[in-house]
Amino acid sequence: MKKISEIMDNAIVIDTHLDLLPDIEQKHRDGRSNVILEDYLDSFKKGHVDVVVSSIFVDSELLPELGLKRAMEQIAAFYRELDACGGKFVLATSAKEILDARRQGRLAVMLAFEGAEPLSAAPSLLRTFYALGVRILGLCWSRSNWAADGSRFFDFDYQGYGLTEGGRELVALAQELGMIVDVSHCNEKTFWDVVEMSSQPILATHSCARALSDTPRNLSDEQIRAIGRLGGVIGVNGASLVARFKDPRNASPADLAAHMMYEKNLAGAGVLGIGLDQCDRLNSPTMQLEAFRDVFDIIPTHDGLEKLAAALLDQGLSEDELAGALGGNTLRVFEKVLG
Ligand SMILES: [Zn+2]
């Protein structure tokens, strides 16, 4: 059997969820610069990571008034780093740009909304963000917004709304522009409303299987199958509270592999992906909430990704299936929707 590092080197490796932009924007306000080069690039390299999808995320205390401003500040912080990086990473808006970057040995960063709050109930603003390079539309976080309602971690009785009229308009515009819709954090109603509107693959950029970690934040069997039917991908979430809701303190890479093996059995190996959702280095007010006290990163930095790959081989995934799970499947979705 090939060495894990060799398999990972040959595979395209894509993390579909990292709060990179909020982190660099915060650090710029603290007087730093070149955060991606100084804090991240080395561990991306050691983890064989080719592509990171960075969220644009606004803490609740700034909403609604300052959502648009903070989103623009996060994108500005990214562009500032891009200008100064000497070509070490690129902004990628398509599968082709990702493959070009990989050939040139450059990291590719793709931009994604985690919550439509910054669009301020004006769906047409999505065009502006598309022009700035954003390609993935995560409709909500674990809260309600003008476009859609999110799932909650703790309240199993919670009944929210699905896509609003504005939310439907937003999803239709995303489809028209050729953006990928991300259903992580969506509650069930929102999820099914999106599926009903979709003929293209969708992503759940950072979610686990509810059957193994019982919280409404995770995907039911039916949801996993629906994502598979659309040709979509589920990025396994590496946050302890998501992966092992009842007993987060004992979460390990084997739990993440177990989620993926479960999803493979339901929807095929083509549905597998990785969205680690690392949060330990985040200083956001949201993460200081009591409800999140048991959240730690099962894979704290990307150089630990080999542990997840080893756990997957251990639990019976083939080398080809592993290559797909590491990023090949996600690249397939990018190719189909973004070109
Ligand atoms: Zn999230």
CA distance linking residue 213 with residue 82, whole number of Å: 38
Q: Which residue has the higher pLDDT, 294 or 3?
A: 3
How many structural domains comprise the chain? 1
Is the pLDDT at 185 greater than 80? The verdict is yes
The pTM is what? Answer: 0.96
Ligand 1 centre and the CA of 104: distance in Å? Answer: 31
Contact partners, residue 180, CB within 8 Å, separation at least 6: 135, 136, 137, 174, 200, 201, 202, 203, 333, 334, 337, 338
Mean pLDDT (the chain) is 95
Pairing of strands 272-275, 107-114: unpaired
Ligand 1 centre and the CA of 245: distance in Å? Answer: 15
CA distance linking residue 40 with residue 31, whole number of Å: 17
Is the pLDDT at 227 greater than 90? The verdict is yes
Q: Which pLDDT does position 281 carry in this prediction?
A: 61
Ligand 1 centre and the CA of 211: distance in Å? Answer: 19
Ligand 1 centre and the CA of 57: distance in Å? Answer: 9
| Residues 316-339, mean pLDDT to the nearest whole number | 98
Buried b (16+ CB within 10 A) or exposed e, 271-285: bbbbbbbbbeeeebe
Ligand 1 centre and the CA of 115: distance in Å? Answer: 9
Please name the amino acid found at residue 88: K
Alpha-helix runs per DSSP H in 178-293: 188-197, 221-229, 240-243, 253-267
pLDDT digits (tens, 9 = 90+) for 275-313: 999 987 666 776 677 767 778 899 999 999 999 999 999
Label residue 31 by pLDDT band (50, 70, 90).
very high
CA-based Rg of the chain, rounded to a whole angstrom?
A: 18
Ligand 1 centre and the CA of 237: distance in Å? Answer: 9
- State the distance between the two ends of the chain, measured CA to CA, in whole angstroms: 34
Q: Which pLDDT does position 186 carry in this prediction?
A: 97
Ligand 1 centre and the CA of 185: distance in Å? Answer: 7
Ligand 1 centre and the CA of 81: distance in Å? Answer: 23
pLDDT digits (tens, 9 = 90+) for 33-47: 999 999 999 999 999
CATH number at residue 77: 3.20.20.140
Q: Tokens standing for 49?
A: 């990571």
Among 103, 88, 85, CA closest to 12: 103
Q: How many CB atoms lie within 10 A of CB 178?
A: 14
pLDDT digits (tens, 9 = 90+) for 125-164: 999 999 999 999 999 999 999 999 999 988 777 779 999 9
Ligand 1 centre and the CA of 101: distance in Å? Answer: 26
Q: Which pLDDT does position 153 carry in this prediction?
A: 87
Residue length, the chain? 339
Label residue 180 by pLDDT band (50, 70, 90).
very high
| Residues 54-82, mean pLDDT to the nearest whole number | 97
Is the pLDDT at 232 greater than 90? The verdict is yes
What residues make up the domain containing 120?
Answer: 4-338
